[in-house]
Chain A
Amino acid sequence: MSRPPVYVIAKSHLSAWVEKMLETAQVIAPRVAHGPDVAYGELEAPEQVAWDYSSSLAPLKRFLFPQTDTLLRWDKQADDGLQLEPAYDDTERIFLAVRPCDVAGVLFLDRVFTRDREDIYYLNRRKRSTLIALTCAEPGEHCFCVCAEAGPFLKQGYDLQLTRISDEYVVEVGSEKGAALVGEAEDLLVPAPEVLMRARRELEQEAKDRFADDKAYFAAALRQVTFDQVPDHLWDEMAERCLECGGCSFVCPTCTCFLVADSEIGDAGARERLWDSCLYEAYALEASGHNPRAERRHRLKARFFHKLSYQFAKPLEAHGCVGCGRCITACMGSNDMPAVTARIRRGAL
């Protein structure tokens, strides 16, 4: 890259910059949904960006790996035999002011959908996506990204990373895509002076200190889960408090289980994939009626094995948690990641 990688934009110029973005792509940013609820959503106008938000109700996987994703379509009436049409989403998207933990979530998904075989539906959307992170100076109510090494500031993986320093935003360039976006707004951004870069570094350290509350004891839990040393009664206790809502799977930026199902109306049909949860009783149910994970405690154990064990963390280069804290809110019982890892740490052999 020929340009210096750090810029600054005045807060008053943000709208103009977002206007430019809206001309080239769909822009998805935090928007007020209702009352205190903020969620990433498509922007119609720059004023809709909720720059000072805490966190989004739902993670970015909603856009890159939607809850309902059409894979292919067909029409049996076609004269020349059955024709299958894959359904590709070619929308260009700019994800603006998204949280670092959510970017870390996307980077995790990148590895999930590339590992072994490439998932064309996800990767097609992903390559048309630009990620502009907005760092966090303060933790939200449930945040524990520092424990998951997924925030509050990222070292890499973003296309651009914004940090607010009073009336300005420091803009760090992390990729060619990011550089191009900056290039298109030359009149709005200038290279950041050293004093501002220093302030940004200081802010990062202050933020990390504020986030340093140990909310999730990953190291101990990783070990116990990897070596199958968690006593059965702990899974039992957790099972008693699980209502199998699936919420943890649906709000988690790194959960990706899905069902594939066909539906038809007359001769026209489609195959879709739909989010699924490994906590559901029917998750592993076979057509014969045999269910290898019939017990809820087994499903809980399998879930946390998938999320935390070294066996998965190795190929995926990280364990399955970015510390966003959404599972704390979503769980109808008390089986969120910090609570579970704390229980494992306290109660393990």
Chain B
Amino acid sequence: MENIYLPDVVEIADVRDETYDTKSFALRFLKPERWKTFDYRPGQFVEISVFGVGEAPFCLASARNGAEVFEITVRRTGAVTDVLHTLRAGAQLGVRGPLGNGFPFDEVKGRDILFVGGGIGLPPLRPLIWEMLGKRDEFGKITVLYGARTPADLVYKDDLERWRSREDVELMVTVDVADENWTGNVGVVGSLFPKAAIDAPATIAFVCGPPIMIRFVVTDLLALGFADKDIYTTLERHMRCGVGKCNHCLIGDKYVCTDGPVFSYQQMKSMMDPG
């Protein structure tokens, strides 16, 4: 019987600063053969152990490639992430996963795809964007709209550059508050919709970001004519076991860790949780 609570040991291969409070970590299994069974889909997450401090869930933030590492993007918010941010390449951590349900992929082939990310919401979308770009012919128009509070809060600056320079994806970036060097859009991410030429009935939307941003964006998308079932997002809750046993991540009768974290707006509407 598999032990769903037993982590594999990984080592930090690389650390990259994204913003003043966010870092990306590239992780490599200590036992390389584990990589073969670590078959994950965009939208899934892992539970990372900082042994002695605890575990925390992070979405898988990189597309599978030949390098046999996977990335997580971590913002400093609590005990585990505080310690994680002090660690360098070579440090050992634990990983359990992949966990959760992942974004739909095959089911949305042939449709236009709209990605809407806010701040720390871009990490879960990033692997999906790259995977879709990797099978570009199977999808229609691909649009990426990304917003952050200030230019300093934008993550994945390299990826943004690469997407910007491609012909087969439209990228628009905005900030709530510009700095003196910013020449791009200013405003919330929803303000990009009129500029993006979206054909709602033909499009599937993937929206990730802080809860309040999701609320506003979903309202805008519905107004544009999107169907409930064509809007997907990732939900977050306090998680402990990550495998549907400890009950902390329940929303109504749905476990964010196993029934989610990806939910369609149609599903979300029927999820009964008080408060």
Listed in ascending order, the chain A residues whose CB lies under 8 Å from chain B are 71-72, 74, 76, 81-82, 84, 86, 112-113, 115-121, 123-124, 228, 235, 256-264, 269, 271, 273, 276, 278, 283-288, 290, 292-295, 297-298, 301-302, 305-306, 309, 311-312
Q: With A and B bound together, what is the CA distance between A257 and B252 in angstroms?
A: 15
- What chain A residues lie within 8 Å of B252 (beta carbons)? 305, 311
Question: A269 is contacted by which of B52, B240, B274 (Cβ under 8 Å)?
Answer: B52
Q: Is B51 a contact partner of A258 (Cβ separation < 8 A)?
A: no
B237 touches A120 (CB 8 A): no
Which residues of A have CB within 8 Å of B251? 292
User: Known contacts being A260-B240, A292-B237, is A118 close to B4, with CB within 8 Å?
Assistant: yes
Q: A306 CA to B80 CA in the complex, in Å?
A: 29
Contacts A262-B54, A285-B238, A306-B247 given; does A120 touch B1 at CB 8 Å: yes
Is B274 a contact partner of A288 (Cβ separation < 8 A)?
A: no
Contact indicator A260/B54 (Cβ below 8 Å): yes
Residue total for B at the interface (Cβ-Cβ under 8 A): 43
Report the stretch among B5-13, B64-72, B105-113, B192-200 that lies at the interface. Answer: B5-13
A292 to B274, CA, bound (A): 8
A258 to B7, CA, bound (A): 18
Check B250 for interface membership: any CB of A closer than 8 A: yes
Q: Are B248 and A257 in contact (CB under 8 A)?
A: yes
Q: A260-B54, A284-B237, A284-B248 are in contact. Are A309 and B253 (CB under 8 A)?
A: yes
Q: Are A116 and B244 in contact (CB under 8 A)?
A: yes
Return the contact of A306 from the options B54, B238, B243, B250 (Cβ within 8 A): B250
Number of A-B residue pairs with CB-CB distance less than 8 Å in the complex they form: 132
Check if A261 sits within 8 Å of B248, measured CB to CB: no
The residue that B5 contacts in the complex, of A72, A74, A276, A293, with Cβ under 8 A, is A72
Give complex CA distance A295, B275 in Å. Answer: 7
Q: Does B227 contact A (CB under 8 A)?
A: no
Q: Which residues from chain B sit less than 8 Å from chain A, CB to CB? A: 1-7, 9, 30, 49, 51-56, 77-78, 80-81, 92, 94, 211, 236-238, 240-241, 243-248, 250-253, 258, 272-275
Q: Are A120 and B246 in contact (CB under 8 A)?
A: no
Closest A residue to B9 by CB, please name it.
Answer: A82
Determine whether the beta carbon of B258 is less than 8 Å from that of A116: yes
User: In the complex, are the beta carbons of B51 and A76 less than 8 A apart?
Assistant: yes
Q: Which residues of B contact A264 (CB under 8 A)?
A: 51-52
Partner of B245, one of A72, A113, A235, A301: A113
Q: A80's closest neighbor in chain B, by CB? A: B30
A256: chain B residues at CB < 8 Å are: 245, 247
Closest to B235 in A: A292
Seed contacts A120-B1, A123-B1, A292-B273; 9 additional CB < 8 Å A-B pairs:
A71-B5, A116-B258, A260-B55, A260-B240, A283-B248, A284-B237, A288-B77, A293-B274, A309-B253
Q: Is the CB of B273 within 8 A of A302?
A: yes
Contacts of A295 in B (CB 8 A): 274-275
Chain B residues, CB < 8 A from A118: 1-2, 4
What distance in Å separates the Cβ of A248 from its nearest Cβ neighbour in chain B?
Answer: 14
